[in-house]
Copies of this chain bind each other. A is one copy, B any other.
Amino acid sequence: MRRRHRSRSKKIGLPPGALVHIGEIKTRHSELLLFRYDAHQLTEQTASGLAGLDLRPPQDGTLWLNLYGLQDATLMEAVGQAFNLHPLTLEDILNTDQRPKLDTYDGYLFLVTRFLNYDKASMQISSEQVSMVLGHNFVLTFQERKTGSFEPVRERLRADKGHIRRSGADYLAYSLLDIVVDRYFLVLEQIGDDCESLEEDMMHKPSSTMLHRIHQLKREALELRRAVWPLREVVNALIRNDGGFFQPATLPYLRDVYDHTVHLIESLESVRDLLAGMLDIYLTSISNRVNMEVRALTVVAMLFMPATLIAGIFGMNFQVMPWLENPDGFWFALGLMGGIASMMALIFWRRQWLSRH
């Protein structure tokens, strides 16, 4: 929560397009990774600045520029000029607490998506912004720090697997988007696992920490939902393909991604329903358990009442009372006490008032 709202305030009144980084700083050093490829060849370059990089897309080929680390405003501006990006695009790239969105500019599409990571230990989801610019023959990706997430795509490019080298920039953008969505499935699987183990625990040994765990899982599901819902709209807008950035052959793949986002959303709704149901059951079982215990205690208290009354009766100071002179009177009285208590216990036990369930 805090990280999301914070620091927006430091921009109030600045002209739009002012390049101020907003959000947690995750790496200090920017790094560039450039791929230039077509069906026949691929060149790969690493650098820390634009100098010496050949930013012209190859003839009939595609250029893909990865940029890690968003602190270097000068570098960002240089990239913006090289690819003719709108000031607002640069501003959005630097503002790393955006919701997923799609903007259409002259000459390129601008996509904001988010990578989610689920940390098993702390049971928390962290997220990073991944901005993408898709031109007719180039793709730019901007990440907060170097993660290996897009490595599988790079491997496919290097190994010339599938038809990714023979397809254009639009297919590359689809491949990257697909990886983003697939990672959401990973997070969803982990939330689902935690739900299940929580449900099993609840059946066997409900404890008061569960309320906290349910609350946390709800939060995580909410977090995931906040990332997936707008992404669905984004993919839907991509399919409408207003700017013509996607070739017809790539559209079925986009529809596939769209199906995945819909599937994710429905699974998330199920998880939320499940959690709501678990919360109900938890609350009911806790409240029932306490009720049952209080009843059991009350019942036990009642077993003592007749005995205490009998003791009181034989403690009265009447001059003429039965049994008092009888040498076994004391034992008679004890027997009476025990007998009545046993009888009552039997009745209560039959009515299942002593059970705690």
Contact = CB atoms under 8 A, between A and B. Distances in A.
B306 A304 contact: yes
Interface string A144-184: 00000001110110000111100000000001001100110
B5 A185 contact: yes
Contacts of A322: 330
A334 B316 CA distance: 11
Given A226-B270, A311-B315, A256 B16 contact: yes
B300 A9 contact: no
A329 to B, nearest CB: 5
A182 B8 CA distance: 8
A134 B179 CA distance: 31
A336 to B, nearest CB: 11
Contacts of A213: none
B300 A297 contact: no
Nearest to A290: B291
A313 B311 contact: yes
Given A162-B15, A297-B299, A317 B315 contact: yes
A335 B323 CA distance: 18
Nearest to A277: B215
Contacts of A196: 1-2
A152 B314 contact: no
A73 interface: no
A324 B318 contact: yes
A333 B311 contact: no
Interface in A287-316: 287-288, 290-295, 297-302, 304-309, 311-316
A284 B311 CA distance: 41
Contact of A312 (B156, B291, B315): B315
The quantity of this chain's copies bound in the complex is: 5
A293 to B, nearest CB: 6
Interface in A265-280: 266-267, 270-271, 273-274, 277, 279-280
A222 B17 CA distance: 31
A285 B211 CA distance: 10
A316 B317 CA distance: 7
Given A270-B226, A302-B297, A12 B308 contact: no
A188 interface: yes
A29 interface: no
Contacts of A286: 288
A312 B315 CA distance: 7
Contacts of A237: none
A285 to B, nearest CB: 8
A329 B320 contact: yes
10 contacts: A2-B193, A5-B267, A88-B253, A288-B290, A294-B298, A304-B305, A304-B309, A316-B317, A319-B325, A322-B330
